[in-house]
Structure formats: C-alpha cells, structure tokens
Amino acid sequence: MRQLSPLSLRKTTKLGQPRRRVKPMWRRPALISSMLILISIGVGGGASWWIWHAVSFQDWVEKARWKFIAGSAKNGFSVREIFVQGRIQTNKDTLLQALRLSRGAPILTFNPEEALERVTALPWVDTAVIERALPDVVYLFLVERRPLALWQHKGRFSLIDTRGGIIPLLDVGRFSNLIIVVGRDAPIHASKLLDTLALAPELAKRVKSAVWVGGRRWDIQMDNDVEVLLPESEAIAAWVQLAEMQGQHRFLEKDVATVDLRLPDRIILRQLPAKEEINWSNPQSISNPSNFISRRDV
C-alpha cells in the first residue's frame, strides 16, 4: 500500500501567491453582534435590579423615618407651646396658617426655614425669627411694619409704612385717622414730613393732608382747610415758628385761606376770597392791607 506523506495532506497553492488568512472567531460580525446583545441584556438587567432595589431602599428609609417621627411624638417630641412676640396687626389665625403648625403635631416635621418664608410674606410682617426648641416649643419673634399715612394716588388709597412701602391691604378704612399724602413720590418723603410735624405736636394734630409739590416741598392742609405752604429748605424752622405764632395769635382761627412760609424772612397770610389780607406785622390791627409778617417779629 502506498503511504501518504504529511505534505500530501496540505492544500497545494500556486507558487508565489499569498495564502488566504482566516479571521479569528472573536472578530467575526455574528459573534460580535451576539456579544453586544448579551452585554446589553446584562447591563439592562443589572440596572433594573439596581433601580428596583434603590427605590425599595428609599421607600424603606421613608417608612423608617415616619415610624421614628411617630414614635418621637408619643415620647414627648410634639408641639406643646407656640410663643409669639411682636404680633400687633397680624391676625392670629392667619399667622398659624402660615406656620402650618398646631399643638400636638410632631415637632420634628416642622421646618423653620420653610415656615419663615411663608411668615415673612404676610402683609404686616417686616422681619421674623423662628426657632424650634426641642422637645416641644416653637418661638416666633416678629417685627411688624408700622403704618404711617394713607397715600392717595389715582383715586385710590393705600396704606404706607415708615419706609414708604405699601402695606398690601384690601381695606384701609380703619386707618382713616392717618394723614393723607398726595403725589407720585410722596410715600418716600412722608416719614421725614411726619418727623417735622411731630416737633409741634399740637399743630400736628390739626394736619389733615399734605401734597408733595414739584418733587421739592410740601403743601399742608389743616383740619379747617387752611393751607400751609412749607419751604423747600428750612422746613423744620418754618414749621416750629408757625406753631409759636399760632400759640401767640391763634391766627388759624381767623379768616385765613393760605399761610405761605416759602420766603426765608416773612410769612405771607392770604385771606379767604372777597376779604382783604390780614396784616400780622401788627397783630393788634388786622385791617391793615399789608400781607406778610416778618419772622423776626415772631
């Protein structure tokens, strides 16, 4: 029998031609696609498993948290007292609604920072401090806005505070006893005006309204409709001298329509229509046609 040599089992190739290279199995497209599919399935399954367990863990933590809070409330960590300091105008029920707090509620669920945002949004509240004192007390310290005057603008009345800000109230009727100020920028300058008027308290009680004129000065209307024209500068000195003269001569009870204090060295008095002007340079004679009094004579 003829024996075959090992070389005869090899596939013969033409001399000088390169042999065809066989691709490794790991580089074949079908295998690569299969591996990618398997990896995707593995990653997706792992992510789903992780998400499911993460959600379950969060649920467990939340349930444990509420269980702890409920247990703490039974052991004395519940609101027993709410102490409020500085409340004058703010309604009690409105304040409690803003706090979202009631006696007996678990104190650990109360968030002072969130409550502070709600409280400071109330119309009367300027600033506030809220403290939680464990196990059972909440402290609230309020600084309320102070009503100063009523601002008449475009036929409407608004309540303003000492800094010229508007206090957003729907009904300002109970503050009708306050001075009315008129003018676009009147609220900003109202506090300074009230400080000036307060230097002569008896005269200030008779002031009914004030108009901010030309962005420079005030015209004051008294309770008997006498108009007092304050100067742009030295308004304090003019107002104090007016009070002194009124105390001596009671001229606001006379037939006076206007008291003009705008000139630095005299006070001009104008009578009501169809009457001659009063001469206050000589208080003993009111028939003299002179229409001013020197402030040096006061």
User: CATH number of the domain at 81-144, out of 3.30.300.130, 3.10.20.310, 1.10.1200.10, 3.40.50.1380?
Assistant: 3.10.20.310
The single-letter code of the amino acid at 217 is: R
Q: What does pLDDT average to over the chain?
A: 78
In the chain, CATH 3.10.20.310 sits at: 81-144
SS3 content of the chain, % helix, strand, coil (to 5): 40, 25, 40
Q: What's residue 249's pLDDT? A: 86
Is the pLDDT at 15 greater than 70, yes or no?
no
Residues 33-53, mean pLDDT to the nearest whole number: 56
Output the pLDDT for position 289.
30
Span 211-249, pLDDT tens digits: 999 999 999 999 999 999 999 999 999 999 999 989 988
For residue 87, what are its two tokens? 């409340």
DSSP assigned state of 78: B
- The β-bridge relationship of strands 147-153 and 156-161 is antiparallel
Q: Residue 241: what pLDDT?
A: 92
- The pLDDT of residue 118 is above 80: yes
Q: Where in the chain is the domain with CATH 3.40.50.11690?
A: 147-297
pLDDT digits (tens, 9 = 90+) for 119-163: 999 999 999 999 988 888 899 999 999 999 999 999 999 999 999
How many CB atoms sit inside 10 A of residue 19's CB? 7
Contact 205, 179 (CB under 8 A): no
Higher pLDDT, 228 or 7: 228
CATH no., domain 147-297: 3.40.50.11690
Burial readout 251-287 (b: 16 or more C-beta within 10 A, e: otherwise): bbeebbeebbbbeeebbbbbbeeeeebbbbeeeeebe
Q: Tell me the pTM.
A: 0.67
* Pair 103, 128: CB distance under 8 Å: no
Mean pLDDT of 192-207: 96
Torsion of CA 244, 246, 249, 255, to 10 degrees: 160
- Token pair 């009690």 is found at 92
Strands (E), the chain: 81-85, 125-133, 137-144, 147-153, 156-161, 166-167, 180-182, 207-213, 217-222, 227-229, 256-260, 266-271, 292-294
The whole-angstrom separation of Cα 102 and Cα 116 is 16
